Amino acid sequence: MKAIVWTKYGPPEGLQLQEVEKPVPQNDEILIKIHAASVTAGDCEIRRLELPLSLSFPIRLYAGFRKPNRLRILGQELSGEVVQAGKDVTLFHVGDQVFGTTGFSFGAYGEYICLPEKPDETQGTLTFMPENLSYEEAAAVSTAGMEALHYIHKACLKKDQKVLIIGAGGSIGTLAVQIARLYGADITAVDSGEKLEMLKNLGADHTVDYTEKDYISQKNTYDLIIDVVGGHSVYGRLKMLKRKGYYFLAYANFSHIMLGIWTGVILKKKVRIESSGQSREEIEMLKKLIEEGKLKPVIDKIFPLREAAEAHRYAESGHKIGNVILKVDR
């Protein structure tokens, strides 16, 4: 089968279309003919590996020290069709359309993948595709949607509470805005340029262009802050969080972990650096919201699988709105 093989850490050119062995399902696995996969910020970060040592070292241990020779195919979100089922599989059948995550096993940038039927912390979670989405749309929901849902549930978001979403125009943010809207929250979405109009249409009450306005002056304002950007400014942004509020960081390093501990003890503010895990309830809830017409992924560009390097270049250009998708055309 054809797949995009990740041949080296660094620029997108290291992603190459190659012929690799087609996988064979174990007894508890299904073989999925992949129709679409997303190109997430996480895929780009891991490919570049320009990360602090505390993150890059474990990734090298896992993927390969000098080059990624143990983890060869990127991609954590997919949609496709079941073409074979192991003998112990009971939920899925040949012909079912599915979508979901591949977890730490990655592997979605190819024509086929084997994944376990049951949710698995390392190999992700799958469910049936919503009937009202295309394969390309369905590939853009699961990891970002589960993150957004997790943050909002964990904070027990209530009507009229104030939510700030920093980096709202990307994969997690566009879904977080729509989910927070369903809870009746008052939403401020921070991003840049043309994304702001789209964020208003998705349900943001207020928008801020971070390239034009310093919004960090309001103290003790927000009940929940979802920050997918992180970086050095987290300490300053924390001042905007109410006492007993929740601050979720999608991208964190060691200093953020220390900051989280200090803030919890001294200021009684809950800084959380955590991921959603791989629960089937959360992916099922996303499916339900989509089928009820309450949630829709935002798709910016769709690239053919063979142009994965180009898709990565676009995804990290700063122009991406919502999601970038790879379509597997055979």
Ligand X SMILES: NC(=O)c1ccc[n+]([C@@H]2O[C@H](COP(=O)([O-])OP(=O)(O)OC[C@H]3O[C@@H](n4cnc5c(N)ncnc54)[C@H](OP(=O)(O)O)[C@@H]3O)[C@@H](O)[C@H]2O)c1
Instruction: Please report how close the Cβ of residue 237 comes to ligand X at its closest, in angstroms.
Output: 9
| Cα–chain center distance at 275 | 10
The Cβ of residue 253 has, within 10 Å, a number of other Cβ atoms equal to: 18
Q: Are 263 and 241 in contact (CB under 8 A)?
A: no
Query: Near ligand X by CB under 6 A, which window of 5-13, 29-37, 55-63, 190-198?
Result: 190-198
Q: Does 130 bind ligand X (CB under 6 A)?
A: no
**Count of alpha carbons within 13 angstroms of residue 65, beta-carbon side:** 0
Tokens of 56: 């890059």
Rg (CA), the chain: 19
Query: Near ligand X by CB under 6 A, which window of 37-45, 132-140, 266-274, 284-292?
Result: 37-45
Instruction: Please report how close the Cβ of residue 52 comes to ligand X at its closest, in angstroms.
Output: 13
Q: Does 199 bind ligand X (CB under 6 A)?
A: no
Q: Does 190 bind ligand X (CB under 6 A)?
A: yes
Q: Does 210 bind ligand X (CB under 6 A)?
A: yes
Instruction: Please report how close the Cβ of residue 282 comes to ligand X at its closest, in angstroms.
Output: 12
- Applying CB under 6 A, among 34, 74, 113, 229 the residue interacting with ligand X is 229
Q: 82 or 172, CB closer to ligand X?
A: 172
Q: Does 43 bind ligand X (CB under 6 A)?
A: no
d(CA 65, CA 180): 41
Question: Which is nearest to 197 in space by CA: 222, 172, 176, 168?
Answer: 168
Query: Near ligand X by CB under 6 A, which window of 13-21, 36-44, 236-244, 258-266?
Result: 36-44
- Applying CB under 6 A, among 172, 177, 185, 311 the residue interacting with ligand X is 172
Q: Are 299 and 136 in contact (CB under 8 A)?
A: yes
Buried b (16+ CB within 10 A) or exposed e, 283-295: bebbbebbeeeeb
Q: Which residue has the tokens 């994969």?
A: 171
Instruction: Please report how close the Cβ of residue 169 comes to ligand X at its closest, in angstroms.
Output: 4
Q: Are 123 and 106 in contact (CB under 8 A)?
A: no
Q: Does 107 bind ligand X (CB under 6 A)?
A: no
Q: 135 or 151, CB closer to ligand X?
A: 151
Q: Are 269 and 245 in contact (CB under 8 A)?
A: yes
Q: Are 9 and 65 in contact (CB under 8 A)?
A: no
Q: What number of chain residues touch ligand X (CB under 6 A)?
A: 25
Binding to ligand X by CB under 6 A, coded x per residue (else -) over 293-322, reads -------------------------x----
Query: Residues interacting with ligand X, by CB under 6 A?
Result: 40-42, 45, 143-144, 147, 166-167, 169-173, 190-192, 195, 210, 228-229, 250-251, 275, 318
